[in-house]
Structure 1
């Protein structure tokens, strides 16, 4: 069976290629990735709109205010340069704990290792552990329990060791 990193690699490959679809089955586990042909969509969008569309998702903080984070092409502050971002490997519902009655996997100030489970993401009734993939201290949790997260969306900021 594929792990989440292998699935991400398949998605990245299909997204940047001329492959229309990848279908993988192993026992009852099925992964189906379709290329939506983004080159054609971008051409249509640019003809219809004169202003460019931002590809950076807006994140709402705990007070309900929009967090306007700079995109990768913009300058970042000194503080942000000292942190690494743990991002979502897939689209799904974010859960900070293994069950509603259990404590959160991590909280601000906790030390994490690469293999530390930091949250679970639910997609199609399957729960997927998300690992930190970095050694360091959790500085900020960027999403709330029960939020729907997108592929590549920042979840946590970690100050590396």
Structure 2
């Protein structure tokens, strides 16, 4: 039987590797882990790693379109400056992040919502137990840092809150 520490180490190892899916089975215990790679992140990495060289004749014929595309990419790649006084809501355990109480329900919160210290902001499922996570502070949700259904680590930042 795997211990929780072994599972945590396994999650970290798979997260840092190029493996996209991992299955483990022993004595009736089954573990399946999958990583979702976003195409946008991969494209941005390629754009950052290799400069694009366009022949001059192509540049003159499609210049307006290329400029528009490059402007959009630069706007997307430029990170926004975040205020330093933001409170970080972190995961108290390893598990799966859920933004709503059920798949059909609306999310607990959205960016721009006001929360109180006892407001439920999400659920982290760990070992078939649904753990409601509270905001711990009164303020406005500035950013949601994880996707619905994503595996989260202990101490991983889930939300940024601008305190009141």
Task: State the TM-score bracket (shorter-chain normalisation).
Answer: 0.5 to 0.7
1:50-94 CA distance string (max 9 Å, x none): xxxxxxxxxx8894369xxxxxxxxxx973312110000100000
Give the distance between the partners of 2:141 and 2:124, measured in 1 at CA: 19
Q: How many residues align?
A: 96
Moved over 6 A (4+): none
Residue 108 in 1 paired to residue 111 in 2? yes
1:27-55 CA distance string (max 9 Å, x none): xxxxx987xxxxxxxxxxxxxxxxxxxxx
Higher helix share: 2
Unaligned runs of 5+ in 1: 1-31, 35-59, 67-76
Give the distance between the partners of 2:128 and 2:85, measured in 1 at CA: 36
Change (3 A) 1:99 1:90: same
8 Å contact kept, 1:92–1:150: yes
Backbone CA RMSD of aligned residues: 2.8
Q: How does 1:2-81 map to 2 (within 5 A)?
A: 63-64=40-41, 79-81=82-84
Unaligned runs of 5+ in 2: 6-36, 45-79
Give the distance between the partners of 2:159 and 2:38, measured in 1 at CA: 12
User: 3-state SS of the aligned residue for 1:64?
Assistant: helix
Residue 85 in 1 paired to residue 62 in 2? no
Change (3 A) 1:121 1:81: same
Residue aligning to 2:159: 156
Which of the numbers 124, 131, 134 marks the counterpart of 2:127?
Answer: 124
